Structure 1
Amino acid sequence: MPSLHDLSLNSSLFITNSVKTMEYPNLPYTPIVVHAGGLHCRPAKPLPQDLQQWISEAGTPGFILFSLGTVVKPSTMPEKYKKVLVDVFGSLEQRVLWKWDEITMDGLPSNVRLSKWLPQQDILAHPELRLFITHGGLFSTQEASYHGVSILGIPVSIDQHHNMRMVQQEGWGRVLHWRDLSFDSLRNLILQTMDDPRYQLYNVDVWALLAAVIIVTSGLSFWLSYRILLFLVRCCFWSKKKKDD
């Protein structure tokens, strides 16, 4: 196989897992680059009956999804981190759906459910989901954006730190680093992110602002045009009257 350097210089087509309109800053591209970010995102399918029943029993507070993706093995995390997660999740009124690579866990709170595999996109689209706690992987952040879910990222490695910085800059999520993980820091960020109204699905607030600006600008332009026309008409009448006199 050629080196990546040689491939980059001789490729006829480059497909990138990125959404061009969401890139910041905007970057120049040659015609051979095709953006296919979010290609895997899809509308939700019905959840398994037992999972749907568990979510329904959560009631008004809803539930939280916590997943560190498929690369990280959750059970290998240091015990001090695991204890913080267990204690915080147990203190919440929401139920917590936790992707975990083992069947059981010592001291698991009654409001927490473990699962080795979860239909993530179907869960993200559920109306009772209040928050997605994630490692910040590219697929996970794209799926959360697609389904309109606020996220709290705890990045582990690779591109996850960059992904979560972008999410935080865009205002629809927050970041917590493992070195800063404590009962208070995690619980406070969970509550703050769930209650933050800034992120709106499909950026409705942004579009509303743009519409208001356009309407105001159009109205101002119309008013200025009317005043200029009125001024010209008056000048014409004034000139005619002066000539008649």
Structure 2
Amino acid sequence: MTSIDLNSDLGESYGAWAMGDDAAMLAIVSSANVACGFHAGDPVGILKTVRAAAENGVSIGAHVSYPDRVGFGRRDMDVTSDELIADVIYQIGALKGLAASAGVTVGYVKPHGALYNRIAHDPKQGQAVIDAIMAIDPSLVLMGLAGAPILDLARKSGLAVVAEAFADRAYTPDGQLVSRREPGSVLHDTQAIARRMLQLAKTGTLEAIDGSTIKVDAQSICVHGDSPGAVAIAQEIRRTFEADGIMVSSFLKA
């Protein structure tokens, strides 16, 4: 692999509450998953992030969520298909409007938190998200967990997809993310994370939490913008990649 996408969840500050360092991350990553107001973000902050992404030449994706500000979108919800379709269309539409005002476009959709985890294996909610994207803009790319059934479901529906791996999360032996409720689920050692991601980029494999080696076919790597040390992690990943001749570049520009 000579290039790989590096993405981060941004635009998540709300009013007086700051979340992450969007300005610093946008100087490092190639794609920005921008909050759409349902789990985090307010209009003025989202617009600021979109404008900064445009200035840095960073691709913009809609980071859609369940309507769950209090839980930061990390609480599972048993919503109807009609509700979920409308919610996703609404969020993408809002970000499209803000992006248009900044002279850029939204290129992909990455569900957030509990919705991301639910649709990875839930065909009913997964199809609702797919149907929403198809209804508003079928040219959008769906970003999903590498190896998850949602990617095949989206392809069958006519959507382009990109598979994603997580830099700062541990994996189970069957290729799933270790639950945040479990010890060791979130990784913090900057250099160890960078070495893991270099292994992923070069061999398509990662070490699972039990020490086994698993196959992970991913074209994009996520560093959570709200994780402690997120900027340092992203910087070290990019530095390690470039030192090994691997370019950080958006999958939309590949």
Is the shorter-chain TM-score for this pair beyond 0.5, marking a shared fold?
Answer: no
Structure with the greater alpha carbon radius of gyration: 1
TM-score by length of 2: 0.29
Higher helix share: 1
Flag the structure with more relative contact order, 1 or 2, with Cα contacts below 8 A and sequence separation at least 6: 2
User: Could you tell me the TM-score, scaled by structure 1's length?
Assistant: 0.30
